[in-house]
Amino acid sequence: MNVKKRPLYKQLKQELIQKIERGELKPGDVLPPERELAKIFNMSRMTVRQAISELVNEYVLIRRHGSGTYVAEHKIPQGKKLKSFSEEMRLRGMLPGSKLCEKKIVLSPSANMAAELKSEGKLFMLKRLRLADLEPMAIETSLLPINRFPSLENRNFENESLYEILEEEYNIKMTKAQQKIEVRMPTPQESELLDINYTIPVFHFKQVTFDQNDTIFEVAHSVYRGDRYEIETEIYR
């Protein structure tokens, strides 16, 4: 029987994946140059380039122009229960953090903003860069009706959890949320804040969050790195 051999580039792909799984190549490690890999595996540089390109397209590896090709960091799965970013990261054994990008009172919200929150009057807008083990992970922008949360704009959100403040000081408990998720390419500002190449896609979450009285208290837009985050779900028949 004539058994067809796998193409050389696929063999190299598998070899590199196995090295990552065995821990011989760890997240953040830089790969040797293509010329050196070609010598190590006795393959042409074209074969090596094809294997590397496919692993980059599959987000197993990351190319950084002028720096080299690196093993991608492990992806963080989105949990199946409603949690804050801080809770989610702690659950994964990571240290959550924030950098404040912007906070302000929106004096004249658009009709769309008011309709989404089912609220009239001023809104509080909070935009933060969310960190996991000091690494940029997501950009979160929250909108809340200021008449329900007086003086919220005076808090320091770099070291505090928004949801913990709402629960402890305003007696608000999040009970459910509606999410819409899309995959798109990052804007130049998002690419810069998340420290990713503009070719890496992002997840955009729009979340409407409800309290214990089934009342909307927040509309949030979050942009997560596609190379560090993944979505888990269960489906039944």
Strands of the chain, DSSP E: 61-64, 68-71, 76-78, 96-106, 123-132, 135-145, 176-184, 202-210, 216-225, 229-231
The candidate with the shortest Cα–Cα distance to 62, out of 225, 231, 232, 188, is: 225
Query: How far is the C-alpha of 222 from the C-alpha of 201, rounded, in Å?
Result: 14
Tens digits of residue pLDDT in 149-168:
999 999 888 778 898 899 99
Correct CATH for 8-71 of 1.20.1250.20, 1.10.10.10, 3.20.20.70, 1.10.220.10: 1.10.10.10
Tens digits of residue pLDDT in 56-79:
877 788 887 778 888 887 766 665
Most confident of 13-27, 77-91, 106-120, 175-189: 175-189
pTM for the predicted model, two decimal places: 0.69
* CA gyration radius, the chain: 22
Please answer whether residues 142 and 179 qualify as being in contact, where contact means their C-beta atoms are separated by less than 8 angstroms: no
Which part of the chain has CATH 1.10.10.10? 8-71
Q: Return the CATH superfamily for domain 76-231.
A: Chorismate lyase-like (3.40.1410.10)
Mean model confidence pLDDT for the chain: 86
* Residue 138 confidence (pLDDT): 94
Q: Which two tokens stand for residue 101?
A: 């990008």
Please answer whether residues 218 and 209 qualify as being in contact, where contact means their C-beta atoms are separated by less than 8 angstroms: yes
- The residue among 19 and 141 whose pLDDT is bigger is 141
Which part of the chain has CATH 3.40.1410.10? 76-231
